[in-house]
Chains A and B, each alone.
Chain A
Amino acid sequence: MSTEPKPTKQERRDAARAARLEAERAEAGAALRRRRLRTLLAVLGAAAVLVVVAIVVSGGNSDKAKSRPGAAQKATGAIPGQKESAAMLAGVPQSDIYLGNPAAPVRVVEFADLQCPFCREYTLQVLPRLVQDYVRSGKVRMEFRSLSFLGDDSVTAARAAAAAAQQDKLWNFVDVFYYNQGEENSGYVTPAFLDRIERAAGVDPVKAKAFAASEASKKPLTAANALADQLRVESTPTILVGKRGGALTPVQADPTDVGAYKAAIDGALGQA
């Protein structure tokens, strides 16, 4: 027999109210959970759509690259540096080994070996600034002289560069080459490697190959060596700056020191 006192009417009412509130709370909680789950599903759906759109937009580039005639690269698509080189040099006149306005008051002559890592540093870090600030505005004309003293790969590369110059694409070729520079004298400058670089630089690889194999492609190398001797160029990269028709002075600076090169050019512009 129970000894518990019978709940009063008030207590029963309170208990019923508490139970009702509890049920309401549980129902509201469940409703919220359902709403949150629906929201999550909607968010997941929207996210999936956005990601697919992003991938399609991103992949669009590679499809274009693949459909370009003769683009024999695998799905890796564009060669490193291809876009950057094209952007840096877009609209800047090129002729043979020269870049920029033929009537520019100042000239900058670069002696470099395509295998030389410091030349790569200069080209990737300093050159874009100089092109942007001085060549585009017609103040400076640049000249690239290929030296080839580091080994067989240097000679092969320099002759290919001569072929690119013949097509007025030397600067694109050199820039893309530096982006893809391999280990010195590891034999990486193969016909397939050059083919890739040439295509990325907008050089006709068939014509380039024929020219590079000819005796004519040796001439610019000989000329560059002779000029380097005359100007006492002993290391690469050597960058010389001077007024058009005037004497050239080498810039003594770290190959990544943009400020030093700009100062040298500004100095020459001041005299010009």
Chain B
Amino acid sequence: MSDRRLRQVAIVLALIGLGVAAYLTYVHYEGIESVCGLGGDCEKVQTSEWSDLAGVPVALLGLIGYAAILATLFVEREEALIAGALIALVGFGFSAYLTYRELFSIDAICPWCVASAVIMTLLAIVMTARLLRAPTGDRGVVPYVG
């Protein structure tokens, strides 16, 4: 897959992730129950002790993370590639931990959170692939490695 295509995929994933995280953040601050299908128990998850990190709701952290990834996708610099991959990998690692907590500590699943975890996993893959394969920002100096 070309870098251009990888970037397009990443933009779509980041936008979907942004939507999910925005919804979860809204639900958190409004104190309302989320639309929770598939037999999940969103409220139990979203009010659990793992629903925030040092006082910051994890939904908001996700929102910031997706927005930051999206921003890096519009900067044609090596640093942006690195930052994007770093954020996506941190997001993936923390999402994996939260999913583990859902399954084994909270004993409840929040489909929105799982959706976000899946999107973040895909983003981590795509952003890592871009980091390895993308042409550099210094166009013309170093040849394309595809």
Contact = CB atoms under 8 A, between A and B. Distances in A.
B3 interface: no
B31 A25 contact: no
Interface stretch (A74-82, A144-152, A211-219, A228-236): A74-82
A37 B145 CA distance: 13
Contacts of B50: 58, 61-62, 77
Interface of B: 31-33, 43-44, 47-50, 53-54, 82, 85-86, 89-90, 92-94, 97, 105-107, 128, 131-133, 136, 142-143, 145
A50 B82 CA distance: 15
Given A40-B128, A43-B86, A51-B90, A58 B43 contact: no
B136 A32 contact: yes
Interface of A: 25, 28-29, 32-33, 36-37, 39-40, 43-44, 46-48, 50-51, 54-55, 57-58, 61-62, 65, 75-78, 80-81, 83-84, 124-125, 128, 179
Contacts of A61: 49-50
Given A48-B93, A78-B48, 11 more contacts: A29-B145, A40-B85, A43-B85, A57-B54, A61-B49, A62-B49, A76-B105, A80-B43, A80-B47, A84-B31, A124-B33
A148 B126 CA distance: 57
- Interface SS of chain A: helix
Contacts of A83: 47, 49
Contacts of B92: 47
A55 B93 CA distance: 9
B135 to A, nearest CB: 9
Q: Which of A36, A57, A75 has the most CB of B within 10 A?
A: A36
